[in-house]
Amino acid sequence: MDTCNSNTYIILLFHLCCLSSLIFKFGISTTPSNSKILCIPSEREALLRVKHHLIDPSNRLASWNVSNTDCCDWSGVVCSDLTGHIQELHLNTSPPPESYFDDNFVYDDFFYGGNDVHVAYNSSMFRGEISPSLIDLKHLNHLDLSGNDFEPVQIPSFIFEMTTLSYLNLSSTGFYGEIPFQIGNLSNLLYLDLSYGAIGVIPYQIGNLTNLRHLGLKGYQNSLYAENLSWFSSLSHLQYLSLEEANLSKSFDWLQTLEDLPSLTELRLSRCVIDQNHQSIVNFSSLVTLKLSIISSGQYSFVPRWIFALRKLVSLQFSIIEDDFPMFYGIRNLSLLDGIQNLTFLENLDLSSIPLSSSMPHWLYGLRQLKFLNLQSTSLCGTISNDIGNLSSLLELDLSSNNLEGMIPSSLGNLTSLVTLDFRLNQLEGKIPTSLGNLNSLVSLDLSQNQLEEKIPTSLGNLNSLVSLHLSQNQLEGKIPTSMEI
Ligand SMILES: *[C@@H]1O[C@H](CO)[C@@H](O)[C@H](O)[C@H]1NC(C)=O
Ligand SMILES: *[C@@H]1O[C@H](CO)[C@@H](O)[C@H](O)[C@H]1NC(C)=O
Ligand SMILES: *[C@@H]1O[C@H](CO)[C@@H](O)[C@H](O)[C@H]1NC(C)=O
Ligand SMILES: *[C@@H]1O[C@H](CO)[C@@H](O)[C@H](O)[C@H]1NC(C)=O
Ligand SMILES: *[C@@H]1O[C@H](CO)[C@@H](O)[C@H](O)[C@H]1NC(C)=O
Ligand SMILES: *[C@@H]1O[C@H](CO)[C@@H](O)[C@H](O)[C@H]1NC(C)=O
Ligand SMILES: *[C@@H]1O[C@H](CO)[C@@H](O)[C@H](O)[C@H]1NC(C)=O
Ligand SMILES: *[C@@H]1O[C@H](CO)[C@@H](O)[C@H](O)[C@H]1NC(C)=O
Ligand SMILES: *[C@@H]1O[C@H](CO)[C@@H](O)[C@H](O)[C@H]1NC(C)=O
Ligand SMILES: *[C@@H]1O[C@H](CO)[C@@H](O)[C@H](O)[C@H]1NC(C)=O
Ligand SMILES: *[C@@H]1O[C@H](CO)[C@@H](O)[C@H](O)[C@H]1NC(C)=O
Ligand SMILES: *[C@@H]1O[C@H](CO)[C@@H](O)[C@H](O)[C@H]1NC(C)=O
């Protein structure tokens, strides 16, 4: 019998998808090559001028050249099939993926080589300037410049003359400064994303964009302010709003204004500075997704109570604003979060990195609709209840990086929808339950860095969907079931 001591790694990687699909998407698309309509010569000239001002280190715009006359075939360019006019320009650079299902799941550097991906991203970003020649594309309705590294200047003013736009993405472009009031000129916009570059007061002229469905105003270190948000009430079609990192402390009316938005389904307020005295009951009638922060300052924690009245919530994600040493103090009174048990439609609950410093609250096991439960790095202690087997809708369960002890409950084997299970870095002991072999959908299983012992159950060999298995740094004995060998 082989005995693996605690330093032996047993890491199996059955198949990694080909590397190219792991890197990142450039977001470039082209019209079908059999398209008969050729591009408009004046628009082609405009694009060549745009290219001339761009720095393109990885030569992504190689196809933008004079010998390739049909600019509708150029990468990132989409023309109208009927008129040949350029309608969409996709000059975005997507950052490397950090997520599988949602944006909190961070893969090990082990899988992706960590920095290499970031170096590749950095060297594929566009730099330089965006040429005003863009305004010669009179039929452009979709402009995506996100994820690049342009000069850190205010958004160029010619953008506000492009009134045909219905989609404008200037998230992480490098542009930095106040949002010009002329933004109110772009009245056809349905999607507007100015995240990571905006500072100063949010201009009320955004209230003129009455068709907006999606507004991304994620700020940077609370340097975006709102004073009087009453103009928001004209955005009656708004479905998605991010004001993350904004400083709303001077805006007394923001909650009342936002709750009256009849179409709002997703609201992101993490790391916002908000008025902590505001505890009135609100009624966001259509809200299903909410992302916000717990404020933790020394012995004191603040969770806005109005969230617990939002009975229709499907997704709730918390981050934390750490004023002092929250890992030391934790959430002082965990009963602040008890109201979550009333949110019985929750499918996604993410408390990762919130220092709960307690055992798993028992009401968690009653949230039967949960599909994604992320309690990574929450300083949880105590044991995992057998009632975890009640959460039969779970697709992703992450309890990693805590102080959980005791046995892994065999009822986990009831969670047959599970795709990822991560218990890495705890103090779990005893046998790996045989029942885990029932988890037919499991793609990733990580039980590494615990105190698990005895033989690895042969039932794990039944996990036909498994792509990654981490069992290292335990006191396990014996061999990986032969059916799992590469
Ligand atoms: C022009 O673009 C075409 C199509 O992508 C490509 O085959 C050709 O090599 C390019 N020419 C130059 C000089 O880059
Ligand atoms: C990213 O690329 C730029 C230009 O090529 C270079 O100056 C910069 O140092 C790179 N940054 C990182 C973090 O690699
Ligand atoms: C804008 O681009 C970023 C990626 O850089 C993306 O995360 C975001 O969802 C986009 N916004 C919209 C409205 O599509
Ligand atoms: C607003 O749009 C109009 C065209 O509809 C344009 O003439 C005007 O210059 C734009 N204003 C600004 C400030 O860009
Ligand atoms: C906003 O709308 C008002 C009234 O519809 C109009 O008078 C004003 O010029 C608009 N502002 C901008 C910046 O478009
Ligand atoms: C906010 O602005 C509106 C008009 O723009 C005004 O009627 C209202 O009184 C203001 N509210 C506060 C609290 O200043
Ligand atoms: C938020 O704005 C208020 C009022 O302008 C200011 O006193 C406070 O320091 C700001 N908070 C942060 C974190 O920037
Ligand atoms: C919340 O709003 C909905 C729809 O507008 C309404 O039917 C319901 O009575 C409201 N509830 C409360 C408590 O105000
Ligand atoms: C925690 O908060 C609840 C409700 O606000 C209160 O009843 C309880 O006494 C608090 N517990 C502690 C230890 O402060
Ligand atoms: C949960 O809802 C019930 C019934 O509406 C209410 O009595 C209770 O106070 C709520 N619990 C919390 C912690 O908000
Ligand atoms: C889990 O399910 C069992 C059996 O149906 C039930 O007795 C128990 O109360 C449930 N636990 C929770 C926390 O809902
Ligand atoms: C859940 O698992 C336990 C222990 O493995 C088992 O006794 C129970 O019958 C299972 N319940 C369901 C509903 O499958």
Cβ of 249 below 6 Å from ligand 7: yes
Q: 3-state secondary structure string, 286-316?
A: CCCEEEEEEEEECCEEECCHHHHHCCCCCEE
Average pLDDT over residues 427-448: 95
Phi-psi category of 166—alpha, beta or left, where left has phi over 0 and alpha has psi -120 to 50? alpha
Residue 9, in any domain of the structure: no
DSSP state for residue 52 in the 8-state scheme: H
Question: Which is the closest atom of ligand 4 to the Cα of 160?
Answer: 14
Cβ of 365 below 6 Å from ligand 11: yes
Residue 169, in any domain of the structure: yes
Cβ of 147 below 6 Å from ligand 3: yes
Residue 354, in any domain of the structure: yes
Residue 138, in any domain of the structure: yes
Most confident of 324-338, 418-432, 457-471: 418-432
Residue 453, in any domain of the structure: no
Average pLDDT over residues 246-272: 88
For residues 29 and 78, is the Cβ–Cβ distance under 8 A? yes
The closest ligand to the CA of 295 turns out to be 7
Q: Whose CA is nearest to atom 10 of ligand 4?
A: 161
User: Quick one: pLDDT at residue 122?
Assistant: 85
Question: Which is the closest atom of ligand 2 to the Cα of 57?
Answer: 5
| Residues facing residue 201 across a β-bridge | 225
**Residue 383 pLDDT > 70:** yes
Residue 266, in any domain of the structure: yes
Average pLDDT over residues 410-415: 96
Question: Which is the closest atom of ligand 2 to the Cα of 127?
Answer: 4
The closest ligand to the CA of 183 turns out to be 5
Residue 106, in any domain of the structure: yes
Average pLDDT over residues 212-217: 97
Range of the domain at 262: 17-31+95-391+403-413+427-438
Closest CA to 261 of 289, 239, 281, 244: 239
- For the chain, the domain total comes to 1
Residue 55, in any domain of the structure: no
The model's pLDDT over 73-122, given as tens digits with 9 standing for 90+, comes to 999 999 999 999 999 999 999 887 653 333 333 434 333 445 677 788 88
| pLDDT band per the 50, 70, 90 thresholds, residue 1 | very low
Q: Hey, which bits of 2-141 come out as E strands?
A: 11-13, 54-55, 77-79, 86-90, 127-128
- The pTM score is 0.84
Q: Whose CA is nearest to atom 12 of ligand 7?
A: 222
Place of tokens 């950090």: 98
CATH number of the domain encompassing residue 237: 3.80.10.10
User: Quick one: pLDDT at residue 306?
Assistant: 86
All residues at 6 or more sequence positions from 413 whose CB lies less than 8 Å from its CB, including other chains: 389, 433, 434, 435, 436, 437, 438, 439
Distance 171 CA to ligand 3 centre (A): 6
